[in-house]
Amino acid sequence: MLVPPFNQETALKKVRMAEDAWNSCDAQRVSLVYSEDTRWRNRSEFVNGRAEVVTFLQRKWVKELDYRLIKELWAWHNDKLAVRFAYEWHDDSGNWFRSYGNENWHFGADGLMIQRFACINDLPIAAEDRLFHWPAGTRPDAHPGLSELGL
């Protein structure tokens, strides 16, 4: 596990590990990077503790189908990372969205995330305007990131 204080290399790895985990859409797997008493603000929802993280993510991925996420490191300092991201998904009616956001992460000495603050906006898109094209799971290394895609 990568632990603070972070440098550029470890911060970049931490962000990519988070992206890969979230792209698995496995709530249990994702939850393991958060402390037992983690605190989140996700949009207007407040999540407290790893068990609530699992419930939140399970509910999220029932709604957000064919989820594909790209994260990019924005800044870091000691035990904190700032990340920007975008993800594409569709609802059960086939309406596509690209969701844009920023996250602030705070880690404990053990490398587990103790706080996550996320601001997210959803933009309806046409299916032909999608940019994230890879099979479910980890984004291939050759697939462009946010900056390369002009996002």
Query: What is the SS3 assignment for 71?
Result: strand
> Which CATH class for the 8-129 domain?
alpha beta
Mean pLDDT computed over every residue of the chain: 98
Q: Which residues of 105-123 are buried (b: 16+ CB within 10 A; e: fewer)?
A: bbbeeebbbbbbebeeeee
Q: What is the pLDDT of residue 1?
A: 81
How confident is the model over 73-123, as pLDDT tens digits?
999 999 999 999 999 999 999 999 999 999 999 999 999 999 999 999 999
Checking if the pLDDT of 134 tops 90, the result is yes
Rounded to whole angstroms, the Cα distance separating 14 from 4 reads 10
Portion of the chain with pLDDT greater than 90, in percent: 99
Mean pLDDT, rounded, for 12-21 = 98
Tokens describing residue 78: 């000691």
Please confirm whether the linkage preceding 144 is cis (ω < 30° from 0): no
pTM for this entry: 0.96
